C-alpha cells in the first residue's frame, strides 16, 4: 500500500522540478498562438522539415530562380514593356539576333578572355598570400592576418574602383613615384587600357580566391610536409606532390567564383576600361538603356552569357576537380 505522505512528497518533488517560466520568450512559447501555429509544426516531422527547408527554398526561388525565370520570359517576348494597344507574342527572334550579327561575338569572346586571364592572374597572385597566412603565420595570429587582408573589402566596389583610378592616373601614386625616382620624365598612360581593367578586376575579386584557398591550405596536415622533408623532398617537390594536390578543391572553388564574377562584372569595365575594352555586359546594358523596346534582346543576350559562363565553369570544374586522386 502506498503511503499518502509518499504520494504527496513525490507530487511536491515533481512540482519543484517544473521550471518556472518567467521570461518573455517562455511567455511566448506558452501562448496559445504559438502552440497552435509554430509549436504544432515543430512537434511533427513533416512540419520540422518544412520549417528547415522553407527559408532556403524561399531564398532560392525569390532571389535566384524567380529573376532568371522572369528574364527568360522577357527574352521570349516580341515587345517589352508591353505598351497599351500593342500586342506581344512569344518568339525566338531575340536569340537569333546574336547568332545573325557577328559584331556581338567579339564582346562575348573578349569577356571570356578577360575573365580567364583575370582568374589565372588572381590565382598566381593570391596563392602565395593564402599559403603564408595558412601555414607560415602562427595559429594564434591567423585570424588577425586574415582580418587585415579583408579590411579593404569593407569598402564598396565603386570606392575601390575609384581608388584604382587615383593609383593609375597620370598624376596618380604610381606615376608620381616613378617620376620622383627618375625612371620616367612623362607620365605613363595606364588608365582606360587593358592593363587598368585587368589590374582593377584582380584587385576587386581577389577576396573570392583568397578565402577558398586559405580554407583548403589550412586543412593540409603539417605532418605530411614534415614527413616529406625528412624523406629528402625539396620545397618544389613538397609543393608539387603534397600542397598543390591537397589544395585542389580550394583552387577549383576559387577559380569558379572569380571566373563567374568576372564574366558578369559591369561597373569596373565602364570606369577603368577604354574604347578597346568593351565587354559583353556593357553591350547588354545598351539594350536596356538605349530604348525600352530592346529589353527582350538584352534579356536574351544576358541568358546567352549566363548559359555559356556556366558551361565553361562546369567544364573547368569537371576537368580540374572531377576525380579525387591520392596526393602520393
- For the stretch 105-139, pLDDT in tens is 888 999 999 899 999 999 999 999 999 999 999 98
Segment of 45-49, 276-280, 295-299 carrying the highest mean pLDDT:
295-299
Instruction: Tell which wins on pLDDT, 168 or 30.
Output: 168
Q: Which of 30, 12, 34, 9 is nearest to 21 (CA)?
A: 30
Residue 179 has pLDDT above 60, yes or no: yes
pLDDT recorded at residue 1? 41
Least trusted range by pLDDT, from 123-137, 196-210, 240-254, 312-326 = 312-326
pLDDT recorded at residue 259? 93
Burial 88-109 (b: 16+ CB within 10 A, else e): eeeeeebbeebeeeeebeebbe
d(CA 108, CA 96): 15
Mean pLDDT of 290-318: 87
pLDDT band at 14 (very low <50, low <70, confident <90, very high): very low
Backbone angles phi, psi at 156, to 5 degrees: -75, 170
Return all residues near 225 (Cβ < 8 A) that are at least 6 apart. 238, 242, 243
Segment of 25-29, 251-255, 323-327 carrying the highest mean pLDDT:
251-255
pLDDT recorded at residue 39? 80
d(CA 277, CA 197): 8
Mean pLDDT of 271-286: 84
Q: Return mean pLDDT, the chain.
A: 85
- State percent of the chain over pLDDT 70: 90
pLDDT band at 22 (very low <50, low <70, confident <90, very high): low
Q: Which of 211, 207, 191 is nearest to 199 (CA)?
A: 191
pLDDT recorded at residue 324? 55
Residue 202 has pLDDT above 70, yes or no: yes
Residue 7 has pLDDT above 80, yes or no: no
Amino acid at each position: 500500500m502506498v503511503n499518502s505522505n509518499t504520494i504527496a512528497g513525490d507530487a511536491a518533488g515533481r512540482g519543484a522540478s517544473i521550471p518556472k517560466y518567467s521570461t518573455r520568450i517562455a511567455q511566448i512559447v506558452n501562448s496559445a498562438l504559438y502552440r497552435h501555429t509554430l509549436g504544432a509544426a515543430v512537434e511533427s516531422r513533416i512540419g520540422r522539415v518544412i520549417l528547415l527547408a522553407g527559408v532556403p527554398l524561399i531564398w532560392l526561388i525569390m532571389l535566384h530562380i524567380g529573376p532568371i525565370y522572369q528574364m527568360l520570359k522577357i527574352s521570349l517576348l516580341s515587345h517589352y514593356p508591353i505598351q497599351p494597344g500593342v500586342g506581344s507574342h512569344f518568339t525566338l527572334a531575340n536569340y537569333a539576333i546574336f547568332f545573325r550579327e557577328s559584331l556581338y561575338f567579339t564582346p562575348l569572346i573578349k569577356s571570356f578572355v578577360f575573365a580567364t586571364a583575370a582568374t589565372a592572374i588572381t590565382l598566381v597572385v593570391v596563392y602565395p598570400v593564402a599559403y603564408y597566412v595558412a601555414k607560415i603565420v602562427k595559429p594564434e595570429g591567423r585570424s588577425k592576418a586574415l582580418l587585415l587582408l579583408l579590411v579593404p573589402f569593407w569598402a564598396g566596389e565603386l570606392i575601390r574602383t575609384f581608388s584604382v583610378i587615383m593609383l593609375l592616373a597620370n598624376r596618380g601614386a604610381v606615376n608620381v613615384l616613378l617620376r620622383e625616382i627618375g625612371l620616367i620624365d612623362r607620365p605613363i598612360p595606364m588608365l582606360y587600357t587593358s592593363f587598368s581593367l585587368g589590374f582593377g578586376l584582380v584587385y576587386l575579386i581577389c577576396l573570392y580566391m583568397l578565402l577558398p584557398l586559405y580554407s583548403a591550405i589550412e586543412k593540409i596536415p603539417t605532418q605530411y610536409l614534415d614527413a616529406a622533408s625528412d624523406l629528402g623532398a625539396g620545397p618544389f617537390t613538397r609543393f608539387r606532390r603534397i600542397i598543390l594536390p591537397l589544395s585542389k578543391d580550394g583552387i577549383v572553388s576559387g577559380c569558379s567564383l572569380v571566373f563567374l564574377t568576372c564574366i558578369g562584372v559591369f561597373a569596373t569595365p565602364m570606369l577603368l576600361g577604354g574604347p578597346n575594352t568593351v565587354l559583353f555586359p556593357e553591350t547588354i546594358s545598351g539594350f536596356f538603356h538605349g530604348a525600352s523596346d530592346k529589353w527582350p534582346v538584352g534579356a536574351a543576350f544576358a541568358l546567352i552569357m549566363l548559359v555559356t559562363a556556366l558551361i565553361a565553369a562546369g567544364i573547368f570544374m569537371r576537368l580540374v576537380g572531377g576525380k579525387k586522386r591520392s596526393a602520393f
